[in-house]
Amino acid sequence: MSDTSPTRPFTAQDFERNPGAYYRAGYVWQLPVRIAHWTNAACITALFLTGLYIANPVFSPEGEAWRNFTMGWMRKIHFAAGFVFAVSWLMRAYWFFFGNNYSRSGFPFFWRARWWRDLATQGIEYLQLRRGPIHLGHNALAGLSYTVGVVGFGAFQIVTGLALFSQDAPTGPMNRIFGWVLPLLGGPFRVTSLHLVVAWFVATFVILHVYIVIYDSTQYRNGLISAMITGRKFYQKDDVVQDTWLG
């Protein structure tokens, strides 16, 4: 019976003649980056779900509050996840400076024409459902979205969340550090409203992020999903392997 398998047989000679037809594996995401990624994913999920309940308690158990403590548990989980997220955010910010080049890839260089060209090209290719310019690390579009969705929105949520938390102890150290945020932004009610609105922006970012990751990984077989577990991504000969920051 003849072999009808579509798999390309690997030989050293064929690799030399057609290097672009083969994928390579490159170590991209270091362990601290992967830990921060999954920690953030878990915390954002817990924060969003508990935050929705705190903003609008859709169910109310019967009986005395001291027997159920439903809102109390939601607040406990919310605050605990918030503190973990703040530590994870700081760890990822630290690794931006002390990790490998891929830890800094995608940084939005607004003052560089090359960054704007990469951003425009990548955006057009995504709209056309084409692969576009390939980077092992974050491309300009991914870097911009992460900077806004995780770094920017994340910092806002951490600061406003700690400011709201500081109300539990008006004379405590947390209030002395973050209490100024409340009058600056118009008082506790307005800060709570802003905190909730930004949470929906973060949720929108997460939905788009998950969609693009699944699309890229299934369409181009580049290991984009497994890379956040193993740290390794697959690339071809002409892909941009060495993402740099200041270089």
Could you give the angle at the alpha carbon of 72 between the alpha carbons of 68 and 76, nearest 5°?
135
Among the listed residues 228, 240, 231, the one whose alpha carbon sits nearest the alpha carbon of residue 39: 228
Distance CA 99, CA 11 (A): 36
Q: Band of the pLDDT at 109, cuts 50, 70, 90?
A: confident
Q: Give the structural domain span for 179.
A: 26-235
Is 11 inside a domain boundary? no
Is 121 inside a domain boundary? yes
Choose the most confident range, by mean pLDDT, from 97-106, 125-134, 229-238: 97-106
What mean pLDDT do residues 189-195 have? Answer: 96
pLDDT value for 223: 79
Which long-range contacts (C-beta less than 8 Å, at least 24 apart) are formed by 66-74?
A: 74/50
What mean pLDDT do residues 48-63 have? Answer: 86
Q: Is pLDDT above 80 for 47?
A: yes
Is 117 inside a domain boundary? yes
pLDDT value for 191: 96
pLDDT value for 210: 92
Number of domains in the chain: 1
Q: Is pLDDT above 80 for 237?
A: no
Segment 22-41, tens digit of pLDDT = 677 788 899 999 999 999 99
Contact of 20 with 14, CB cutoff 8 Å: no
The residues pairing with 26 across neighbouring beta strands, listed in sequence order, are: 233
Is 240 inside a domain boundary? no
Is 8 inside a domain boundary? no
What mean pLDDT do residues 5-17 have? Answer: 60
Is 4 inside a domain boundary? no
Q: Is pLDDT above 80 for 207?
A: yes
Distance CA 87, CA 15 (A): 46
CATH number for the domain harbouring residue 209: 1.20.950.20
Is 21 inside a domain boundary? no
Is 52 inside a domain boundary? yes
